[in-house]
Chains A and B, each alone.
Chain A
Amino acid sequence: MKPITACKIGCEGVIVRIRAKEPIKGRLFSLGLAKGSRVRILDHTLAKQTWEIESDGTKIALRDEEAESIFIEPKECAA
């Protein structure tokens, strides 16, 4: 289990825990990010301040603080 920010671009895994507080938690959920969802890390900016991840066809941009609160169990890591 590790936070998204510890993963490389192209990494895939299943969300095991979301530590964010409400209302961010609810927001993440309504975008399809919940315990058990499969996510893939698509991109981050040069300074790794902003991240892009994908889950079930939805692409989501978030800051490092939010990304840090999402923990995944990595499955496949290309690259």
Chain B
Amino acid sequence: MKKIRVALAGQPNVGKSSIINSVTGARLHVGNFSGVTVEKKEVFIERGDYEIEIIDLPGIYSLNAYTPEEHVAKKYLYEEDYDLIVNVVDANTLARNLIFTMQLMDMQKKMILVVNMIDEVEKQGGSIDKGKLEELLGIPVILTSAKEHRGVDEIIDQIVATHESDKPKNKLYYDQRIEEQIDKIVKVLHKSPHFKDPEYARFIAIRLLDRDEDIYKIIHDLPIFIELHELLGKIYRELELEYDEESTSDILSDERYALSKALVMEAVKKPEVKVSLTDRLDRLLIHPVFGLPIFLFFMWLLFQLTFEVGSIPMDMIDAAFTEISNVVKATLPDGAVQSVLADGVIPAVGSIIMFLPNILILFLGINLLEQTGYMARTAFLLDGFMKKFGLQGKAFIPLVSGFGCTVPAYMAARTLKNPTDRIITMLVLGFMSCSARLPVYVLLIGAFFPTAHAGNILFIIYISGAILGLIVAKILRTVLFKGEPEPFVMEMPPYRFPSMKALGMELWIKTKLFIKKAGTFIAGASMIIWFLSSYPHSGTIEESYTRKIEAVQSEEAKAALENEMAAKALENSYLGRIGKTIEPFFSPIGFDWRMSVAVVAGLAAKEVVVSTLATLYAVGDADERSNTLIQRLRDNVTFKAAIAMIVIIMIYSPCIAAMSTFWAEVPQWAWRGFYLVYPNVLAWLMAFGIYRLLDMMGY
């Protein structure tokens, strides 16, 4: 079977993904572009003798790439091997889209133009003359509406037809004065064996006039570079003088702009300008006064849904996994295999799956915000405030998500296109206390504060985390990333009803990626913690306690002894020994070895802090409402140490699932290393300061 590879390119918000999703009989494959965390969607379709592979490139506004996604798309277009380009454009904003189309046409590859969302133009009484566009551009044009499944399958037929035809490739001519200069550059390029192909040489020449740095790098190492460099300098000066422009790139832009305006004038009957739904919605949603309260209400709603609805299946999942683990315990013979399954692997897998409902709801909400076009509005509303702290308006979404769970919050940071803004946001995200830390706070507040103030104290903890995050962001921006946050220029797409199919697809993909990514890592890491807390078995401890337990009569005394045995075994385990080793490190902030171990175990998952404290203070299976554990804490832990512990929990590294997500999202080793160290150092210093301060105040 013959193969046709198709690059699907277009500006953001033109509905490329919905086209891909609505092609009949397509197999979807999702992966990453090599070396980057940019999602790569491929679709395979069989048609006649051909297997057609369509690669959905990230949205790209122009070949003068700007965001990481755009660089990925550009790199693919420049370097990869494909047979033709399908360029998707939005019928509503054809003039602007066609500018990019012209840049693509300069590549002189076989090309098809897909004019999407034609239904929206026609509904408003406008129309587009397909024949005229084909005639003027010299490439096949298809009018489509992915929403109404109109023209989508035609694209596939046209791909085959265009691939088979040997019609001469289209060529776009610029102004005579520019063409003369292009010829001069091509002549020099022909001297190099790399640019013998006249079409490729012409493309390179145009890109050089467009001041494309990536192309400049290619010619930089060639023997013809000196001659070319001199020629280019001369041409730049001449053209800039002739056209009275600052750069030849501007001249080409103006040319393309004029051409696309002329094209639209010829081929498009514009719809009457009416006040659109978007305009009416925007009048309310980004109102200078009401915009913010409305936004805060949406956020509040999202978190209510995430945690109220998300917690319903959470308990069921937890119960189900406990049940599975009990069944394993009952069926398998006692021993290491039973223990590693029932106490190690199954609870670990359960702890991942447990987060899934929250994550799906949060992601559904965030996807809805994004696909309806509201996300762009929140960035607009909050950019001014966030900028004061060196963050971007869009950073607000992941930061707020961080109060729920840090894992999806890291992933939500993907909406930040600028790498610096993204890394700063991700570095302070951990200070937004996630829901898993709540049990720890509840326990410590219950033990050391009067009940009447509990709510306020909890609120103070969450707010100080958020404030600390903003302050640290500001410091990171001034110390490590000198200069202003990146400029904020973004398209505000019209409000659209999201396609349910696309939404479901996104959700399914997210689910799979989440289970695959976090799953392999958290399962492994939890097994290590399990192993460290269960081994080595000390025969002597068990023996002596078994004898003692047999000796006593009352059930109460037996339970107490069993708890004591568990605590002794834990103290003797590798984890206990580690605790003893690290104790000196934590003693300046008033921790004993038990608290030290609990805090370290909390790196696996924050809930583990409570269960570890319970085990270590020998009260067995206690939850955070356990009065005995609270009593033990009051007896063993000082007030100032408890406060220090709250501070540590607030600031130090999040759980392993979150850390592995960070690693998966951030490829640079320097940042990974920094991320592992700085929150812990900061946490210790803050805890130390507050501990000493309280000490001086006489607590």
A residues in contact (CB < 8 Å) with B: 22-32, 34-37, 42-47, 49-50, 52, 56-63, 65-66
Contacts and interface: CB of A to CB of B under 8 A. Distances in A.
Which bracket fits the contact residues of B?
Answer: 35 or more
Given A56-B95, A66-B487, 9 more contacts: A26-B66, A26-B253, A30-B99, A36-B257, A42-B282, A52-B380, A58-B491, A59-B282, A65-B487
Interface of B: 11, 61-62, 64, 66, 92-93, 95-96, 99-100, 211, 247, 249-250, 253-254, 257, 278, 282, 286, 288-289, 291, 376, 379-381, 383-384, 387, 393, 487-494
Contact of B491 (A23, A60, A66): A60
Contact of B288 (A23, A43, A60): A43
Question: Which of B93, B249, B493 counts the most chain A CB atoms within 10 A?
Answer: B93
Contacts of B249: 22, 26
* Top 3 A-B residue pairs of the complex, sorted by shortest distance between their CB atoms: A49-B384, A32-B96, A30-B62
A28 B379 CA distance: 18
B393 A57 contact: no
Contacts of B289: 46
Contacts of A63: 383, 387, 487-489
A28 B384 contact: no
A28 B487 CA distance: 11
Contact of B487 (A24, A30, A37, A59): A24
A61 B489 contact: yes
A32 B64 CA distance: 14
A34 B93 contact: no
Contact of B64 (A26, A46, A50): A26
Contacts of A46: 288-289
Contacts of B490: 60-62
A45 B488 CA distance: 14
B93 A32 contact: yes
A36 B253 CA distance: 12
A25 B249 CA distance: 10
B213 to A, nearest CB: 10
Interface of A is mostly: mixed
B494 A59 contact: yes
Contacts of B211: 22
Contacts of A37: 257
A29 to B, nearest CB: 5
Given A29-B253, A50-B384, A66-B487, A61 B379 contact: yes
A54 to B, nearest CB: 9
B66 A23 contact: yes
Contact of B492 (A28, A45, A49, A59): A59
A56 B97 CA distance: 11
A56 B491 CA distance: 12
Contacts of B384: 45, 47, 49-50
Nearest to B247: A22
Given A27-B66, A45-B380, A34 B489 contact: no
Contacts, number: 111
Given A30-B64, A30-B100, A52-B492, A57 B383 contact: no
Contact of B376 (A57, A61, A65): A61
Contact of A28 (B247, B393, B489): B489
Contact of A31 (B376, B491, B494): B491
A37 B95 CA distance: 11
Contacts of B99: 29-30, 32
24 contacts: A23-B64, A26-B249, A27-B487, A29-B99, A30-B100, A31-B61, A34-B257, A36-B257, A42-B282, A43-B286, A46-B289, A47-B384, A50-B488, A52-B286, A56-B95, A56-B96, A60-B492, A61-B379, A61-B383, A61-B491, A61-B492, A62-B490, A63-B488, A66-B489
Contacts of A42: 282
B97 to A, nearest CB: 9
Given A26-B64, A30-B61, A50-B393, A45 B257 contact: no
Interface of B is mostly: helix
A62 B64 CA distance: 19
A31 B92 CA distance: 13
Contacts of B492: 52, 59-61
B488 A58 contact: no
A41 B665 CA distance: 38
A62 B282 CA distance: 16
A58 B489 CA distance: 13
A26 B95 contact: no
B540 to A, nearest CB: 70
A65 to B, nearest CB: 7
Contacts of A30: 11, 61-62, 64, 96, 99-100
B407 to A, nearest CB: 29
A23 B486 CA distance: 11
A48 B494 CA distance: 22
Nearest to B67: A27
A55 B493 CA distance: 12
B474 to A, nearest CB: 17
Nearest to B270: A57
Contacts of B282: 42-43, 52, 59
A35 B487 contact: no
Nearest to A47: B384
A47 to B, nearest CB: 6
A5 B381 CA distance: 17
B12 to A, nearest CB: 10
Given A24-B489, A61-B492, A34 B387 contact: no
A58 B288 CA distance: 20
Contacts of A23: 64, 66
Given A27-B61, A60-B491, A61-B490, A50 B380 contact: yes
B288 A45 contact: yes
Contacts of A44: 288
B245 to A, nearest CB: 9
A56 B282 CA distance: 17
A27 B96 contact: no
Question: Which of B11, B211, B286 counts the most chain A CB atoms within 10 A?
Answer: B286
Contacts of B383: 45, 49-50, 61, 63
A57 B491 CA distance: 11
A57 B92 contact: yes
A52 B487 CA distance: 14
A27 B490 CA distance: 9
Given A26-B66, A46-B289, A62 B93 contact: no
A37 B253 CA distance: 13
A19 B286 CA distance: 27
Question: Which of A23, A44, A58 counts the most chain B CB atoms within 10 A?
Answer: A58
B489 A49 contact: no
A23 to B, nearest CB: 5
Contacts of A35: 254
Contacts of A47: 384
A27 B383 CA distance: 18
Contacts of A56: 93, 95-96
Given A58-B93, A58-B491, A49 B387 contact: yes
A75 B507 CA distance: 47
